[in-house]
Amino acid sequence: MAIVRKEGAENILYVANIGDTRAVLSKSGTAERMSVDDKCDHPGENSRVKAGGGIILDNRLGGVLAVTRAFGDHALTRVGLIATPHIVKHTVKVMDKYLVIASDGIWDELSD
């Protein structure tokens, strides 16, 4: 999810994500990732799951799910699944041209 809010004199972009949908901001032709891919091979997510007693098998949460944060899949909460989003706050500048939000089907084939 992404939203731009007027806060005082500034436009503020908020990006909140779970799962494998990625948001990338174009800044003067340079890509800046505005989200976190919540996959089992992400070091922070892998550590979070294991520290909580969760299980990652064959690079899948509980041996089943490719992501570590998602809505639904309630049975996997016992092995580390959560629905708490990552939230990024960014002050929009003149050089910020557009935001691309796409699923892993796109990002598996294209770079940021």
Do the beta carbons of residue 15 and residue 36 sit within 8 Å?
A: no
Domains delineated in the chain: 2-107 (3.60.40.10)
User: Predicted confidence band at 82 (pLDDT cuts at 50, 70, 90)?
Assistant: very high
Predicted TM-score (pTM) of the model is 0.87
Q: Please tell me the predicted confidence (pLDDT) of residue 9.
A: 97
Long-range CB pairs of 49-55 (<8 Å, 24+ gap) are: 49/79, 49/80, 50/80, 52/80, 53/80, 54/79, 54/80, 54/81, 55/79, 55/80
The confidence score (pLDDT) of residue 42 equals 93
Average pLDDT over residues 76-86: 95
